[in-house]
Amino acid sequence: MWIPDIIAFVPRSVKVAAVEHFGPGKRKKVFVRDRRIAVFNDTGKFYAVDDSCTHVGGSLSEGLCEDGIITCPWHSAQFRLSDGRGIGEHAYRSLVTYPISVKNGVVEVEIGDLI
């Protein structure tokens, strides 16, 4: 039996919200299997990152989001939304980031093989 060396990867996405209901400053938590993903609209640009802070696991979707930086509500660890990079002493490692798009007026997060 022949088994291919490379298996094609087909990106999959999860619908988050209609753009008209997800204005600047809004955020939403999305659950995909065992993952919590935080989705933000920061001044009209959409971002998606793991919702768990790398410090102690606080929900980042409940934190302050300003100028492309999310601050954990538990111990003030900060992360850049653009690449997940931690800023300061409490951000032990970077967050996983997810590609995000708007299709037919709906914000979607590409979650790959998490489904």
Mean pLDDT in the chain?
A: 89
For residue 15, list its beta bridge partners.
Answer: 108
CATH fold, domain 13-114, is Rieske Iron-sulfur Protein (2.102.10)
What CA–CA distances, in Å, run from 64 to 12, 32, 41, 98? 29, 23, 12, 19
**How is 29-70 classified by DSSP, letter by letter?**
EEEETTEEEEEEEETTEEEEEESB-TTT--BGGGSEEETTEE
Q: Dihedral of CA 54/60/64/67: which sign? A: positive
CB 37 within 8 A of CB 29: yes
Q: What is the pLDDT of residues 67-115, one digit of tens each?
A: 999 999 999 999 999 999 999 888 889 999 999 999 999 999 998 765 5
Listed by start position, the domains of the chain span: 13-114
